[in-house]
A and B are shown apart, each in its own frame.
Chain A
């Protein structure tokens, strides 16, 4: 069955970098679009990035454009999110998710917590 497992979260100091991973199983990420979404404490879901399999490129929210970079390793069936120059407001649970066939998100991971603090 489809499974997404995020890892790499933890406590990071402001201005530093962190790389999150999302290991997929039950399907091949090479043929699916994939999203990163986050949830800050007490807040709602915020869409961050989308990798389009058709266009082979990433799209980003304004809030992370230029600081976050999405990538994938198809041989490991794993998605990555490189976070640079992190800020306190980047503190959140980060979810990876699979793009569904109806402009929806059909499978999600359970998320990994990133805490930006000195």
Chain B
């Protein structure tokens, strides 16, 4: 059960925008609009920030947005802030189970 593919790291300056990609297959991202994204500050509980490709849970700033095209989902963070520095993971439904990406470390310069 291979993981979804994410870049290992991205970086940006405060105020800038960054995009993190998440590539899957026909077993997951292609055939399901159930892509979710999680923000994880090490030592803390991961936090859901995007569900169903592009929806934000209550309380998540609209600086966070999601999209999908074909086998690739994307998370965009606009107006970067220092507190956005964290690890980000994508996930998709895969049959009855779930699959996660390898994670992307976001550094705010």
The interface of chain A, by Cβ under 8 A from chain B, is: 4, 35, 37, 43-47, 50, 52, 59, 61-63, 95, 97, 100, 102-111
Listed A/B pairs (28) with beta-carbon separation below 8 Å = A4-B45, A43-B103, A44-B100, A45-B38, A45-B100, A46-B3, A46-B100, A47-B91, A47-B99, A50-B96, A52-B96, A59-B96, A61-B97, A95-B45, A95-B46, A100-B48, A102-B51, A102-B55, A103-B51, A104-B51, A105-B46, A105-B91, A106-B48, A107-B45, A108-B38, A110-B43, A110-B44, A110-B45
B98 touches A102 (CB 8 A): no
Contact-size category for B: 20 to 34
The interface of chain B, by Cβ under 8 A from chain A, is: 1, 3, 6, 32, 34, 36, 38, 40, 43-48, 51-52, 55, 57, 89, 91, 93, 96-103
- Contact residues in B for A111 (Cβ distance below 8 Å): 45
Main secondary structure of the interface of A (DSSP, over half): strand
A108 touches B96 (CB 8 A): no
Question: Among the interface residues B40, B45, B52, which one has the most CB atoms of the partner chain A within 10 A?
Answer: B45
Chain B: minimal CB distance from A100 (Å)? 7
A44 touches B57 (CB 8 A): no
